[in-house]
A and B are shown apart, each in its own frame.
Chain A
């Protein structure tokens, strides 16, 4: 069974630009969650999508948005990039039932110049 696939693996952008990250979950998984990982803050929850609907949202500004498609693939968009957005963005999938383990992808390393 293929794991969670995230593309691209690395991105370099400049301040003010926008970026779209993609995540393909494990086959059969209907929930996709996004996390931001930085050395100082650890893993911070961005949002979760289940059956194309945002089910939960973390404490991030509106510049961070996402969506999920009918095949459960998800995209995350960050607009008006800031230097502080430099981080590893991790996507995780699960079956979507409560209290399920998360299966993480390798992440997208985003660097803002």
Chain B
């Protein structure tokens, strides 16, 4: 079945440093979604990418979808303590109606 791998599992940065998490799928995706889960909270939808090579920005967050639609990345510029949480990528496969498969997430800790 479809697998979505995410690295790193964990990253600890100083406030102001940049952060990137990478997502790779075993199959071609029709789209990729990113979610953020704060400690003690539930996943919250951030963004969806659909087109090959698509790049979207949300303030300090930059999301990319690979040309082959099998990988994606989330880059945070100049992290803040409010960025703390676990970031999940999730994708729908390209074959008919499918379920959303989540990566295991990258936990980000930001020290002031």
**Residues of A in contact with B (beta carbons under 8 Å apart):** 33, 35, 41-45, 48, 55-56, 58-59, 90, 92, 98-99, 101-107
Contact check, A56 vs B99: say whether CB atoms are below 8 A apart: yes
- Name the interface residues of B27-56: CB closer than 8 Å to any CB of A: 30-31, 33, 35, 41-45, 48, 50
Query: In the assembled complex, which residues on chain A have CB atoms less than 8 Å from the CB atom of B104?
Result: 41-42
Q: Does B22 contact A (CB under 8 A)?
A: no
- Nearest chain-A residue to B47 (Cβ)? A101
Contact check, A102 vs B42: say whether CB atoms are below 8 A apart: no
Q: How far is the CA of A107 from the CA of B43 in the complex (A)?
A: 10
Count how many pairs of residues, one from A and one from B, have CB atoms less than 8 Å apart in the complex: 54
Q: Does B92 contact A (CB under 8 A)?
A: yes
Q: How far is the CA of A56 from the CA of B99 in the complex (A)?
A: 7
SS class, residues of chain A in contact with chain B: strand
- Nearest chain-A residue to B42 (Cβ)? A104
CB-CB under 8 A for A101 and B92, given A42-B102, A48-B99: no
Contact check, A104 vs B44: say whether CB atoms are below 8 A apart: yes
> 1/0 contact trace for B96-112 toward A, CB 8 Å?
01111111110000000
Contact check, A106 vs B33: say whether CB atoms are below 8 A apart: no
CB-CB under 8 A for A105 and B100, given A42-B88, A99-B31: no
Q: Min CB distance, B42 to chain A, in Å?
A: 4
